[in-house]
Amino acid sequence: MKKQIVLVFLLITSFTVFAQTEIEKGLDAINEEVVKGQLEFLASDWTEGRAVGTKGAYMAADYLASMFKVYGIKPFGDKHTPQMTRRMWMSGIRPKTETSYYQNFSLIQYEPGDVQTFSVISKGSEGEKQVEFGYQTDFSVRTGAVAQSAKAPVVFIGYGFTDEENGYDDLKKVDLSGKIAVVLSGFPGHKDTASVAYKKFAPQGRYATYYLERNKRRNLEKTGAAAIIMMNLDSDPMLSWAQNQIYPVKGSHYEADKPLGSYYNTSMSMPTDTLSSNMPIYTVTPRLANEILMGTGVNIADFEKKVAQEMKPDSKVLEGKMIAYKTTVNSEIVKARNVLGYIEGENKDEFIVVGGHYDHLGKWDGYIWNGADDNASGTVGVMTIAKAFVATGKKPEKSVIFAAWTGEEKGLFGSKYFVQQAQKNDLNVVLNLNYDMIARNPENDSLGNMAHMNYTKANYNIAEATTRNIADYNINLDLDLRPSENPRGGSDHAPFAEVGIPIFYFMAAMHEDYHQPSDELSKINWEKMTNIIRLGFLNTWEFANSDEFLKVEDKENITTPNP
């Protein structure tokens, strides 16, 4: 009798296992212990903050590649041929080309050199006067990747602001090629929130000011301007250049007699065939700014009031003014690498890319920026979805690339390089999932389940699938869906969106530990992180086996479902 009971139990158990769907098998592979096991190493002190090109980053990359291998994910990186020894050749062994998990590329790391000069040259009825200003006394400079010098005319271009939809463009009627552009911070009406200009031109969003100034620089690079001079007469940059820092320097995690070292003391660029984006950008003191404007008829206060009222640009050449400058640069080549694996689908030539950056801010003055949330959490999300895909036991219709990017913190370089190479090699990428900071709570998240998902607005089925999967699988997430016609931002979905590839991008929260040494494992919300990974798997599995997400609607007809 006991044997019969055992036999019945085994049959029931076997039937239950057999009846389990592919999706259920995948979900079973995603749990908090799996997530913790990966994150506890990736965000440990051993990886030393994973700054691009450092020993810690290489150790992290080796770990990621080994986990892909353990999970059964095939390599999708560079092809290489192992070096052969003489004995191997004599033994008849011949080299065989192999594919690695690493996509290698080079970056140029640079910083201003010891010599920086800046002169204002004024011509008038009494002759010519040249005033020399001091580096980090009256100006600082963000150099390009190579040193350069120039003597050029000066053009005042107001805010350098362009809003075609509302009919305003500071750049439209001026020729900036080979000239130096003087640019004010802000936008028309930015000092008067009651003005029509403010209501018309004020950018919206958490990072609106950052994107506004960044877009100005990008637009100016296209004009062929020789340099940019940023003016803000309401601020005094001298305060940040002072050599005698008041003792002690205090921060949330640091007290000393000098500022804590910073990952951003140097810049990086990706080598190209031309010297594009090599324009020096100067920040100047009010007294240097006034020397440039003196005698030109330009009064900043009057200009700002007038443009706020009339909303008409007033860009002009500053007659009688020239500026001469010279930059020097210290630079070096840094080797970097993405980690790439993939699962081949029934359709070998159609790819979804699941990615997140594994780099962070490194180690400085004895402090380690472990970046547990930013973005070890997202990297673990990528690896765990890879594990879940294998666990389904089924080959998806589309091929799926699992990518851990490097260089995000310096300028999205890893994902940019991948997209460039994908286009160069005609790789048919149809969708990108990006994970960045998926494991913390915002201040108002009393239940610990809030997050948001940005996605390409035209691909409305991305939102519909997300909402349905949350409900059908009882996933405890209060998810804010954020559609965008042209998804941008400072994360690795942006290079995909820029070339027209649909994206969806998960983030849990911006928090006070962002880019601080305190972004540690002890503050992770493991349940939320695991649920975001589960939802990402459900979405990606569905999209890898269906073309529904590729359907688009006209802008006027798009609706956004609420979870």
Domains of the chain with CATH codes = 22-80+336-557 (3.40.630.10), 115-327 (3.50.30.30)
Residue 110 confidence (pLDDT): 95
pTM over 0.85: yes
Helices (H), ranges, 196-267: 196-201, 208-221, 238-241
Residues 6+ apart with CB under 8 A from 416: 270, 495
Rounded distance, CA 241 to CA 276, Å? 29
Rounded distance, CA 162 to CA 160, Å? 7
Neighbours of 242 (CB within 10 A): 9
Match 């840094």 to its residue by tokens. Answer: 334
One-letter amino acid at 445 equals D
pLDDT along the chain (563 residues), means of 10: 50 49 96 98 98 98 98 95 75 81 97 96 90 96 93 96 90 93 93 88 77 84 92 85 74 78 90 82 95 94 92 94 96 97 96 98 95 98 98 97 97 97 97 98 94 96 96 97 90 96 96 94 98 98 93 56 42
SS3 assignment, position 55: helix
Rounded distance, CA 20 to CA 294, Å? 78
Rounded distance, CA 452 to CA 164, Å? 30
Rounded distance, CA 31 to CA 562, Å? 26
Helices (H), ranges, 202-321: 208-221, 238-241, 286-293, 300-310
Residue 73's nearest CA partner among 351, 340, 393 is 340
Residue 211 confidence (pLDDT): 77
Residue 370's nearest CA partner among 253, 495, 195 is 253
